[in-house]
Structure 1
Amino acid sequence: MRNPFRIKGFKSKKQEEEPEQKPIKEPWKKNQEEKSATRSNKTIIGKRPDEGFLHKKDDRSSFGSGYQCPECSYPLSLQVSVQSPCPNCGNSGEKQVAPSAKTTINFGRLNFGQLSGERKFTLENESSPDMSVSADLGEVDEIVLGREELEPNNSSISGSGHIQLREQKGRWYVKDMSSNGATFIQASTYLPVYEGIRIILGNRIFRVSTGSGTPPPVTGNKTMQFGQFNLAGAQSNSLTLFDEINGLAKNYSGEQIELNRFSIDPDEQSISSKLHALIENRQGNWMIIDKSSNQATFVQVLNEMHIQDQTRLILGNKVFRFKQG
């Protein structure tokens, strides 16, 4: 039997039904026109085109959301933010200006030393810590503390009010409210010394005389009397300390006076032997600062004085430490 596949011109039905295959187009053989047409519809991420996607800033986005990048006008479905930055230019909506010498500092950026909005303080009773007082001024600017708040059974503290503490822009001020003037502040910094003011050196109390007879300047709204003005010119460099216990007087002179145990009382062990306090005459104004090892130099609070953190106060016959915050 003859093989039908050997017949000349014979074609199977399967071969006749199959359509002729077209040559496959290779993508890397596209012409230049096809390349540009294909790329024009694609988003170039990370690159900014020569012209914005929207020629007008007011045009609505093609996404229908109405959002667009304020930097490159790229249409967005969400507003630009840190969580959703622009995919085209990376803008997150936060502009950081590099600091320069010509940049003007805004008033709100200035720091006046206020303690993060807190207006708290503590008066720590150094002899009886359980009698310490803590308070928060809150909305008020000042507070008056007396015997009831500080130590109810201590008659050396005024009952009606012994001191006033006031806060202003992060700075605290103390003012004597007692009837006997028994408020003293530690001379941790240079403090003014006036005619008639009392100072404490160790456990001795002295009244100061500068020789001018001029009382301390009046603060507040009180009118100064004519006799309060010093018309004699600059004060002298002499100073006298009157011991209020034994009545003895010690005279000192010079623009800088060093006070110690031997220049005051050799038998007084509470006064430092090397240097207890330093008194300086600065253009007619006397200033005192503590130099003792036991921090035992105090100045009577006649006017309102600035009080720093950790400064010690003597109220009546008790020593308190002022702690800010």
Structure 2
Amino acid sequence: MLPEHGTGADRATPASIGFDATRLGRWDSALIDFLWQLRRLAAGRGIGFDESGLPDASRRLLSLLDDSRPAPLPPRRGPGLLARLGGATTTALTGALNNTGELSSLLGGLTLRAGAASLGRARMRGIDLLDNLYDAGPSALLIITVVNVLVGAILAFVGVVQLRRLAADSFVANLVGLALVREMVPVMTAIIMAGRTGGAYAARIATMQGNEELDALAATGIPATDYIVLPAVLSLTAMMPVLYLYGCVVGIAGGFVVAIAMLDITPLAYIQQTRMSLPVGEFGFGLLKSFAFGLMIAVTSCRIGMKAGRSAADVGSAATSAVVVGIVGTIALDAVFAVVANAVGR
């Protein structure tokens, strides 16, 4: 350090800074960085900086560095509430449109392949179709029976308790029959199959994706749509109306047992009242809903399985997503059918 200036409190501030590098050995870029920082600090406080005692190489390197400080950048402000809301809405709409397009493409392809399968031109094995039919039909009868019998019994019990107050307990058969045939049986059956079969479809296809079995099929020229997806979709779509009719029978039987036990009514009178309250058209509407539910559950579950990742966690995520989408889709589709039925006067 060279001579100091000032008095009192300013006496510790040097007039300039100098260096003696005669005993300096090897040095690297750390020295240049230190000197540059020191030079900038000295310039900011009005202190001289004498470089004459430094090695020539270090002075040349220091001369290449600019001491001027860059102007501070203005603080970045995040997007406003409306911008974030608009971005989230755009992202959600884009995802929904992409998913709708992929589902429509898959459904169209399956329709064409189903036509080819009816002519024996699709690469679908009959044994796979039979296995899927058994899994989506007879294997599900036990749980379909338990759930629909209990639903019918609950409807009959609630109907007896409430209609008895109005002296209209003889209409319990009408309540049970119409509620089961129009709404409860198709919706409950679809929810059961979404959790049981739809999740199984997604998990099975996701497992094949993780094991690279789908890649092997593609490498050998066998379309996964024909070999895996088509049997599953045809099976569940075909068995849902059958399960619906079976569920109607066992559900009405459950309501019949409760009503006979709680009401002073003969079995023949209950059956006659049920028959009069259920025209054939009601079953036709329920069959149409069951067919749509089965098709929706099968197509969405298979699509989720084919889009899954390749890890074990992705298999579980695919199964969970298939169950959630199947249940929510069933309820949403049922709401659409309710609006259509009201529009056509049913």
TM-score exceeds 0.5: no
State the TM-score, normalizing by the size of structure 2: 0.21
Structure with more relative contact order (C-alpha pairs < 8 Å, separation 6 or more): 2
State the TM-score, normalizing by the size of structure 1: 0.22
> Higher Cα Rg: structure 1 or 2?
1
Which has the larger strand fraction? 1
